Structure 1
Amino acid sequence: MISGEDLKAALPTEPVRELIETIDAPKIASGKVREIYDLDDSVLLVATDRISAFDVVLPGGIPGRGLILTQLSHFWFEQTKGIAPNHIIPNEGEILCNTLKLSRDSQLRSMAVRKLKPLEIECVVRGYIAGSGWESYKQNRTVCGIELPAGLQLASRLPEPIFTPTTKASEGHDMPITAEEAANVVGRDVFEQVRDISLKLYDFGSKLAAKAGIILADTKFEFGTDADGTIYLIDEVLTPDSSRYWDAAEYKVGSSPASFDKQIIRDYLETLEGWNKTAPGPELPLEIVQKAQSRYLEVYSKLVSVV
């Protein structure tokens, strides 16, 4: 685990949108943020500093964002391995350093992972009512078919965390589905396993975050299976991009506190006139970039400092 101060010192001064060094492996895909390479019996995921908003990849990026998110995922994978096995391969360090001979920057933004078959649902756990869950609650007091108590306000803590799966969309937005619909997609046994694992992960994560003065309002987990059907935690885990983190000191029922993610960027983009949320996206002012970077680094530093 790398400390917040050491991670801050390792951040590049300019965003890494494209990798400068050549990776000695075939590239499988290039996503909004990640570059993905085939390592024969495993896969290399390299997170750039590209950033998207409203499904548009923006020019520039947030210096070190990919590095921060990768290291936070590594932290959580290590912390939660007693709850669920994860996709990080045991000899990852040797692969990154000795086999691929990656630079220090690329090592910090990379994961060497098992080749698995991703489940076709995303596993969302909510401990507080916010975001799309709040919009659904206002309509009919339900979220993904789960009826909730009357009288909840925005950002209210739920009586107990709820499991609210979504579809996994290759393009566009994931859509909420009921438990029955999710079970039909992945099978009843697998559904019950990932539901139970997800709730345990949320409970663990929310308790650790609370020690750091942070509220884990909701989060998304992804899982994959190997040829034997073993379920692994994959992708990223409990990062500000897959989770809604609030500063406990700012929390107040009835309003949604600023989250530790790219909400600063979304809020800025909403103020622009003349951009219709289609490509190409606008350049971000330096002030907004610096604020976003600071929020990412702040949540990382707070979380890793409590263990």
Structure 2
Amino acid sequence: MTTDTPPPASAAPELEGWRHAYSGKVRDLYVPANDPATDVASAGRLLVVASDRVSAFDHVLEPGIPGKGELLTTLSLWWFDRLSAVPNHLVPDHSLGDDARSAIPAAVAGRAMLCKTLDMYPIECVVRGYLTGSGWKEYQQSQTVCGIRLPAGLANGDRLPEPLYTPAWKAPMGEHDENISFERTVELVGAEAAEALRDLSLSIFRTATDIAEAAGVILADTKFEFGADRATGELTLADEVLTSDSSRYWDAETWRAGGTPEERMASFDKQIVRDWLSTHWDGTGTPPELPADIVERTAARYRELLERLTA
């Protein structure tokens, strides 16, 4: 099955004690079975389950990547632990076990997080440390990235003089997210929240960059999502964090060695899938099924990143 909309509810497993509430392209959300909430936003707690589904170019592809959900959840939890100074959406003691872990059904153990419900900000907080991807395309045309002027003479894959905060508006389901200016975020969430989102995103990025570099890995860019704690109003880190689905990671030694952009910037993520799909599909109709070797190579890259960072 391929689709440009979230999978049907039937794609999500039935879990004892939990009621399926929503499925995104790669994650399934559940509320407690005894919670009278009629939607995710009004629930007291959520179970966020990472599936093995893989998406590219707004389509969910077949087959999935075996073990992907557990790998990404493990990496998120590892990063939350290293960012302990930043409030996050995990129910207290999630990583330690006890009540939180026992509430997670065995069927999804290892790929689920028990989370507090937050009042989410409609902003994807993107931070770029290197010139690549859509930023490189824009730079070639206008010497800017998301409208921010950069020095002349930069090449694809170069480290930026300073990390750039380039927020995006989280569009409603079925629409594409839209890059926006900082001034637009002020209009959307107010000056105080906009400044806090920017400053905390840049701070987390710098901390994560140092940790990754110590493991011989470059964090090229990433996105964060935040919400307000409903009890305290405190700015709280949510969703997945610094995974290979939300971030672009490169091998530092390979990047320094030079060569073609493809060699320097081989990502620890689903770029293998994107590259194969770009070559074998013209973007119309139903995308082809992923061959076994592409699935295996992608799974290996996910595993390698986790091993490199957490060794």
Mapping for residues 54-133 of structure 1, pairs under 5 Å = 54-82=57-85, 84-92=86-94, 93-95=97-99, 97-100=101-104, 102-103=105-106, 106-133=108-135
- 1:4 aligns to what? none
Residues 191-228 of structure 1: CA deviation (Å, up to 9, x unaligned): 11111111111111111111111111111111011233
Residues 247-275 of structure 1: CA deviation (Å, up to 9, x unaligned): 112213872511111010111111215x5
Task: For 1:182 and 1:206, locate their aligned partners in 2 and report how far apart those are by CA, in whole Å.
Answer: 25
1:283 Cα offset (Å): 1.6
User: What's the secondary structure of 2:266's corresponding residue?
Assistant: coil
- 2:288 aligns to what? 282
- 1:26 aligns to what? 19
User: What's the secondary structure of 1:108's corresponding residue?
Assistant: coil
- 2:254 aligns to what? 250
Task: Tell me if 1:199 matches 2:207.
Answer: no
Task: For 1:276 and 1:165, locate their aligned partners in 2 and report how far apart those are by CA, in whole Å.
Answer: 27
| Unaligned residue ranges in structure 1 (runs of 5+) | 1-16
Task: For 1:225 and 1:253, locate their aligned partners in 2 and report how far apart those are by CA, in whole Å.
Answer: 44
Q: TM-score, normalised by structure 1?
A: 0.87
Query: Which one of the candidate residues 208, 211, 216 is aligned to 1:213?
Result: 216
Query: Which one of the candidate residues 164, 167, 177 is aligned to 1:165?
Result: 167
User: What's the secondary structure of 2:237's corresponding residue?
Assistant: strand
* Sequence identity percentage: 46
1:184 Cα offset (Å): 1.2
Q: TM-score, normalised by structure 2?
A: 0.86
Mapping for residues 144-159 of structure 1, pairs under 5 Å = 144-159=146-161
| Unaligned residue ranges in structure 2 (runs of 5+) | 1-9, 36-43
Greater RCO, CA 8 A, separation 6+: 1
Contact 1:155–1:254 (Cα < 8 Å) also in 2: no
Flag the 1:245–1:80 CA change in 2: closer, same or farther, 3 A: same
1:277 Cα offset (Å): 4.5
User: What's the secondary structure of 2:126's corresponding residue?
Assistant: strand
Contact 1:154–1:253 (Cα < 8 Å) also in 2: no
Q: What is the root-mean-square deviation of aligned Cα atoms in Å? A: 1.9
User: What's the secondary structure of 1:271's corresponding residue?
Assistant: helix
- 1:11 aligns to what? none
In terms of mean alpha carbon deviation, does 218-227 or 17-26 score higher?
17-26
Task: For 1:172 and 1:95, locate their aligned partners in 2 and report how far apart those are by CA, in whole Å.
Answer: 38
Flag the 1:181–1:202 CA change in 2: closer, same or farther, 3 A: same
Contact 1:34–1:47 (Cα < 8 Å) also in 2: yes
Query: Which one of the candidate residues 293, 302, 311 is aligned to 1:296?
Result: 302
